[in-house]
């Protein structure tokens, strides 16, 4: 009955201690008011069959119940309906620029660099429900895989579809990948715009210089986090394609232009990270997730509904009933 009901003035429950005292007072007073008349025999008297004397204590029970209801009313019972409204006060638009050159098939990350990157990136995307995210692919040239969107299912599906192909020219055009990402974000109205640029090589293709692309990012207020993928030293990497279409692998020296990636991050206000294994790659994305938080403001609305009125009305009814009984049916016994 009291489920979901809160009492504003819980201290009023101490008044229930008065109820046992009222019962003791009633018993004591009743004994004092009961007159005794001693006779030697009652054989000459006819026993009455009226039930009224037995029920006259019912009026005290009514008064006691009314008092208990009034105490509950004074405790201010009320129900609280809480509704929550979430408002995103600072949205972030993110473009992930992913290197899809043949070297991304190197097996120093498991099962290879590209697949390891896709798995971690998917977790990152799922953990950003309030942000818009887009994807850019680049190798010897670049193109937009997915424009920035709040529909994460589209982004995740596009991410799964990313793979090495021969449609894009070979090489690593870091400047092109960065410039295409900037182009996706330059007209964004978001208060924060970031690019996560991932590569495992050096800039050896494309007609846009990475430094020029960095200056464009600065001009449009776009922060860039750069990630270098690959172990230190030698890595099992594809060196040619066999006649059956499969890659031939050999251990070659990992070559990443870390100085360039550090410079891009520094100029645009981001950070550079180096992922030498799967666990390190996960930690990098967690770190970026912490650095770029979306401010979410939560509003709670409380709707209070007072429940004391029915208690007061019921107490008044019981007192009125007692008064009516006292001056009608039980008038001769009061």
- DSSP element (H, E) containing 23: helix 18-33
Do 213 and 314 share a domain, yes or no?
Answer: no
Do 136 and 225 share a domain, yes or no?
Answer: yes
Q: Burial of 149 by CB count in 10 Å (0-12 exposed, 13-18 middle, 19+ buried)?
A: middle
Separation between Cα atoms, residue 318 and residue 73, nearest integer Å: 14
Is residue 258 one of the residues assigned to a domain? Answer: yes
Do 115 and 164 share a domain, yes or no?
Answer: yes
Give the pLDDT confidence score for residue 178 in this predicted structure: 97
Is residue 168 one of the residues assigned to a domain? Answer: yes
Do 109 and 59 share a domain, yes or no?
Answer: no
Is residue 57 one of the residues assigned to a domain? Answer: yes
Is residue 34 one of the residues assigned to a domain? Answer: no
Is residue 42 one of the residues assigned to a domain? Answer: no
Positions of E strands within the chain: 5-7, 77-90, 92-99, 132-138, 142-149, 192-199, 222-229, 234-241, 247-253, 272-275, 295-306
Mean pLDDT per 10-residue interval, the chain, length 334 residues:
74 86 80 58 55 69 86 85 62 92 92 94 91 94 93 95 78 94 92 93 92 96 95 85 81 91 96 94 92 67 81 87 80 57
Whether 161 and 61 have beta carbons less than 8 Å apart is answered as no
Do 125 and 231 share a domain, yes or no?
Answer: yes
* Number of domains within the chain: 2
Do 109 and 198 share a domain, yes or no?
Answer: yes
Do 133 and 249 share a domain, yes or no?
Answer: yes
Placement of tokens 């209070």 in the chain = 304
The verdict on whether omega for the bond into residue 111 sits within 30 degrees of 0, i.e. cis, is yes
Do 2 and 151 share a domain, yes or no?
Answer: no
Do 181 and 322 share a domain, yes or no?
Answer: no
- Domain holding 257, by residue range, is 92-293
Do 309 and 240 share a domain, yes or no?
Answer: no
Give the pLDDT confidence score for residue 143 in this predicted structure: 92
SS3 label, residue 221? coil
Give the pLDDT confidence score for residue 198 in this predicted structure: 95
Do 246 and 284 share a domain, yes or no?
Answer: yes
* CATH code for position 266: 3.40.50.410
Give the pLDDT confidence score for residue 220 in this predicted structure: 95
Is residue 151 one of the residues assigned to a domain? Answer: yes
Is residue 37 one of the residues assigned to a domain? Answer: no
Is residue 31 one of the residues assigned to a domain? Answer: no
Do 98 and 66 share a domain, yes or no?
Answer: no
Angle at 44 between CA 40 and CA 50, to 5 degrees: 105
Give the pLDDT confidence score for residue 22 in this predicted structure: 82
């Amino acid at each position: 009955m009291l489920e979901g009901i809160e009492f504003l003035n819980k201290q009023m429950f101490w008044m229930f201690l008065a109820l046992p005292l009222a019962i003791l007072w009633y018993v004591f007073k009743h004994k004092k008011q009961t007159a005794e008349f001693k006779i030697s025999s009652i054989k000459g008297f006819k026993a009455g069959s009226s039930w009224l004397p037995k029920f006259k204590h019912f009026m005290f029970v009514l008064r006691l119940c009314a008092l208990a209801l009034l105490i509950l009313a004074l405790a201010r019972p009320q129900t609280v309906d809480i509704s929550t409204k979430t408002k995103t006060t600072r949205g972030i638009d993110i473009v992930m620029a992913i290197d899809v050159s043949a070297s991304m098939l190197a097996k120093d990350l498991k099962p290879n660099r590209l697949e390891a990157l896709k798995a971690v990136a998917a977790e990152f995307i799922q953990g950003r429900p309030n942000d818009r995210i887009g994807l850019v692919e680049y190798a010897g040239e670049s193109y937009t895989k997915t424009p920035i969107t709040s529909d994460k299912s589209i982004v995740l599906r596009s991410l799964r579809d990313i793979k090495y192909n021969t449609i894009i020219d070979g090489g690593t055009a870091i400047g092109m990948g960065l410039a295409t990402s900037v182009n996706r974000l330059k007209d964004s109205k978001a208060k924060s715009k970031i690019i996560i640029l991932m590569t495992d090589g050096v800039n050896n293709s494309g007609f846009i210089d990475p430094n020029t692309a960095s200056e464009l990012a600065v001009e449009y207020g776009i922060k860039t986090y750069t990630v270098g993928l690959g172990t230190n030293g030698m890595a099992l990497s594809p060196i040619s394609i066999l006649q059956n279409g499969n890659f031939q692998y050999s251990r070659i020296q990992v070559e990443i232009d870390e100085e360039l990636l550090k410079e891009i991050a520094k100029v645009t206000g981001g950070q550079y990270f180096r992922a030498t294994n799967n666990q390190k790659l996960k930690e990098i994305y967690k770190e970026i997730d912490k650095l770029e938080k979306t401010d979410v403001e939560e509003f709670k609305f409380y709707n209070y509904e007072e429940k004391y009125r029915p208690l007061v009305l019921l107490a008044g009814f019981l007192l009125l009933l007692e008064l009516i009984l006292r001056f009608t049916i039980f008038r001769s016994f009061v």
